[in-house]
Structure 1
Amino acid sequence: MLPTSKVGAGGATFLEALFTATSAVCVTGLIVVDTPVYWTGGGHAIILALIQLGGFGIMSFASLLGLLLARRMGLRSRVSAAAETRSVGFGDVRNVLLGVLRITLVVEFVTAVVLAVRFALRYGYSPAEAVWLGVFHSVSAFNNAGFALFSDNLIGYVGDPWICLPVCAAVIIGGLGFPVLFELRRHVRYPRRWHTTTKLVLGGTVILLVVGTVFITAVEWSNPATLGALRPEDRLLAGFFQSTMTRTAGFNSVDFAQLNPVTLLAMDVLMFIGGGPAGTAGGLKITTFGVLFFILYTEISGGTAVNVFGKRLPRSTHRQAISIVLLAVGLVITATMFLMLTTDFGLDRVLFEVVSAFATVGLSTGITAAIPPAGQVVLILVMFAGRLGPVTLASALALRSKPLYFEYPKERPLIG
């Protein structure tokens, strides 16, 4: 809210500052003001710092959560977990934090260098400007934030692979999650040693990226307001870029207000699923939906135990996944209904906005600033719930298990 953070006289209003700060700390990317025009260089630096702290803090908390749970386990459970992962666990707090920091700095540095060189050589920015643009968009991409220093986000670079692909790579790496990255570093050549989490995240990421790219490109191929006016190779690049951004990063290289409603609905699903756990991505996480998929497959195929990649899932995992999804659906529906009552926007746009906020994606059809203050407060709460809710709920469920000394008699209600 400081006057030095805002262009022109006076400072930002409380709600503008709160919304922007929340979006940055929750690495979402939704905005109620034009980031490059409204904020000064100092304001941009504050946003960048909040993105970095929010991403690193969340990643550290989620990774260290495994340590907390492991320490609450008995010796036999810890030995079994170590044998299953072919390691001694996540390591101590210091090693985990240093590992997170190393990966963060390396990915952000490499991405920033590529972007800075491209901005300087291709678009004529001065070295200082190119470096700042490279650093800002690199940090924003790796932390899956989606803040950009261009009023049209990255629409002006829709056909430039040297801008789009490095951003996509940073988004994907950040969205895999650090447990997955740590295991790949140790056992990248030995897939059989990978933990079930790693297999679910990698397989799910590839499937969702491919399916999302094919669907978005096919539906928008002839839309002159999005992909239709581009060269064929640029359409493929733009389709892949938008699909990648649904991994919970809010960059866009086409005008989302012009997308087909069917495309928006498909993106709702992709955003809701999100990325990998214990990383910078949001959503309900690929592992959660992977567990639900295998539960469904087991029920349809007549199985008695849910098995994933040769391992049996405990029933507590079933309950956690179902509980998180039901609570998330309830939150999204409630927020959507509230916004529909307080705005004149249609269901497709409102639902897209709410899912984007809950999954901490930051993609928008351009209605965020037009939503009344009460609706913006709801989006702030949804962003917090989306970033903290699933992880907090999962840990609470894991830590609140109680021994049962009796069970009620069984009775089966009619289902379906």
Structure 2
Amino acid sequence: MRPVPPPKRLLLQAKNHLLGLAPPQFLTLSFVLLALAGTLLLKLPLATHTPISWLQAMFTATSASTVTGLIVLDTGTQFTLFGQSVLIVLMQCGGLGLMAFGVLIIHVMSGQLALRHRTALREALNQSEQADMRRILGLLFGFTISMELLGTALLALHWVPQLGWSRGLFYSFFHAISAFNNAGFSLQSDNLASNVGDPLINIVITGLLISGGIGFVVVADMLGKSRFRDYSLHTKLMLIGTLALNLIAMLVILVLEYGNPATLGGLSSFSTKLWAAWFQAVTPRTAGFNTIDIQALLPATAFFIMGLMFIGGGSGSTASGIKLSTFMVLLLATRAFLRQRQHPVVFGRSLDSNVILRALAITVISLFCVITGTLLLTITEKGPFLDLAFEVVSAFGTAGLSRGLTADLSMAGQCVIMLLMLIGRVGPLTLAFTLANPHSTRIKYPVRQVNIG
């Protein structure tokens, strides 16, 4: 038997190692490789009008691939058409998840999904063993393409008359991709502040944000059933939670900022104030767009928006954060405890204890990441504590909102933010599984009580 040449042996070893990775590890590696590929492309001379540093290229690529929206360079003026197209690809791949793209290619080539690939896709979309992955995959791509094309067509009604057909269509397509994938990148230097009172921009952008952030499984469930009572428990919680949270957030922002002359108080009409409050209520749930000056928000409003960014969007969506369903499970569990019930009950169904433990684990790990990130940023940076904490929560929730701190971050600070963006995108629990390499055991231990509270 002839010996395998060293280069070929190394390739075979790398291939075997990749195939042996667990789905959470493979998912994390995919986003890392996507960010590195984007860094190389954005560093090319044809990607920018003026040369940029490797750190700037890596930060922008990481922000785009994790669909965050934090920027250290002006997207519309610094990047060429090629560079902006690279950002579109990074946002699209990062929003849908590389596992979905990989499984689609495997499915087309082989005509079937192996168990390993179904497991990887379930990890990327955060689905259970019983979920029909082929149906979810087909719906994922069909719904995404449909919504992005519809968003492009509607936004073209605004930008084509202003910019002409070619530039106007590209503007519309860029913002539709950015909005549906909850990325928050804009080609306008003021983000969308110049469109604060435009009903078309407000409706289309927020519609794309909600449709991309509510979760593909919710969309699939709604398309397959006509009555609310027939929806799954997850779909019911997501629909009610999304509506309630958006309306409450709109009311809170409107009340807090109504008299602030630098934000809502400086707008000309009450209808414009309503549009601004609605837009800023929806966008913190990992979107990154803004129509008012985030730096000028009152401390109370900024702190409230930090809570929205931490909660995030829907499970298995383009959004991040701990997820709205996680937040609602914690609320239901707390209510059950206060009422001295053993299991939370909602819509005539009780929640499994494993779901509650998972929600608790996700929240605790997320809080640990945010606290640690804030601590590191207070060490590496100089600035108001609220601004530093806001930046950390925005990065972890891949929300993309900033109080003017991002471009002034040191090299160490940018590295902290990039790591938080990656952790927030792959999910804190996925990262914990990746690092801890968990294994099950059948050993049972005696039960004992611990005094708490």
**Counterpart selection for 2:278 from 240, 246, 267:** 240
Give the direction of change, closer, same or farther, for the CA distance of 1:337–1:185 in structure 2 (3 Å limit): same
| 2:409 counterpart residue number | 371
**Counterpart selection for 1:55 from 67, 79, 95:** 95
| 2:297 counterpart residue number | 259
1:361 aligned to 2:399? Answer: yes
| 2:77 counterpart residue number | 37
| 2:40 counterpart residue number | none
Give the direction of change, closer, same or farther, for the CA distance of 1:287–1:59 in structure 2 (3 Å limit): farther
Give the direction of change, closer, same or farther, for the CA distance of 1:303–1:59 in structure 2 (3 Å limit): farther
| 2:132 counterpart residue number | 91
Give the direction of change, closer, same or farther, for the CA distance of 1:127–1:327 in structure 2 (3 Å limit): same
| 1:68 counterpart residue number | 119
TM-score (norm: length of structure 2): 0.82
Amino acid across the alignment from 1:165: I
For each residue in 1:112-136, what CA deviation from the matched residue of structure 2 results, as whole angstroms up to 9, or x when unmatched?
Answer: 1111111123xx2111111011000
| 1:76 counterpart residue number | none
User: Which secondary structure state, in structure 1, belongs to the residue aligned with residue 266 of structure 2?
Assistant: coil
Give the direction of change, closer, same or farther, for the CA distance of 1:71–1:111 in structure 2 (3 Å limit): closer
1:390 aligned to 2:428? Answer: yes
Aligned residues of 2:67 and 2:91 also touching (Cα < 8 A): yes
Deviation of 1:6 after TM superposition, in Å, equals 1.1
| 2:174 counterpart residue number | 136
**Counterpart selection for 1:317 from 327, 340, 355:** 355
| 1:402 counterpart residue number | 440
| 2:325 counterpart residue number | 287
User: Which secondary structure state, in structure 2, belongs to the residue aligned with residue 96 of structure 1?
Assistant: helix
Name structure 1 gaps, 5 residues minimum: 73-80, 83-88
**Counterpart selection for 1:5 from 31, 40, 47:** 47
* Distance in 2 separating the partners of 1:312 and 1:401: 28
| 1:169 counterpart residue number | 207
| 1:344 counterpart residue number | 382
Aligned residues of 1:55 and 1:143 also touching (Cα < 8 A): yes
Give the direction of change, closer, same or farther, for the CA distance of 1:59–1:258 in structure 2 (3 Å limit): farther
For each residue in 1:186-223, what CA deviation from the matched residue of structure 2 results, as whole angstroms up to 9, or x when unmatched?
Answer: 01x22222112111111111111011100011111111
Name structure 2 gaps, 5 residues minimum: 1-42, 104-112
Q: Return structure 1 stretches of 4+ with deviation > 6 angstroms.
A: 61-66, 69-72, 394-397
1:147 aligned to 2:185? Answer: yes
Amino acid across the alignment from 2:48: K
| 2:152 counterpart residue number | 112
| 1:228 counterpart residue number | 265
Amino acid across the alignment from 1:50: L
Aligned residues of 1:67 and 1:90 also touching (Cα < 8 A): no
RMSD (CA atoms): 2.6
| 2:369 counterpart residue number | 331
| 1:297 counterpart residue number | 335
TM-score (norm: length of structure 1): 0.89
**Counterpart selection for 1:192 from 205, 224, 229:** 229
Give the direction of change, closer, same or farther, for the CA distance of 1:328–1:96 in structure 2 (3 Å limit): same
Amino acid across the alignment from 1:195: S
Deviation of 1:356 after TM superposition, in Å, equals 0.5
Amino acid across the alignment from 2:132: G
Aligned residues of 2:136 and 2:216 also touching (Cα < 8 A): no
Amino acid across the alignment from 2:96: F
Give the direction of change, closer, same or farther, for the CA distance of 1:415–1:167 in structure 2 (3 Å limit): same
For each residue in 1:15-62, what CA deviation from the matched residue of structure 2 results, as whole angstroms up to 9, or x when unmatched?
Answer: 101000000010000001111111111111111111011112268389
* Distance in 1 separating the partners of 2:379 and 2:272: 39
Aligned residues of 2:179 and 2:287 also touching (Cα < 8 A): yes
Identity %: 38
**Counterpart selection for 2:216 from 170, 178, 192:** 178
**Counterpart selection for 2:60 from 17, 20, 28:** 20
* Distance in 2 separating the partners of 1:290 and 1:66: 30
* Distance in 2 separating the partners of 1:90 and 1:394: 23
**Counterpart selection for 1:214 from 251, 255, 270:** 251
**Counterpart selection for 1:127 from 162, 165, 175:** 165
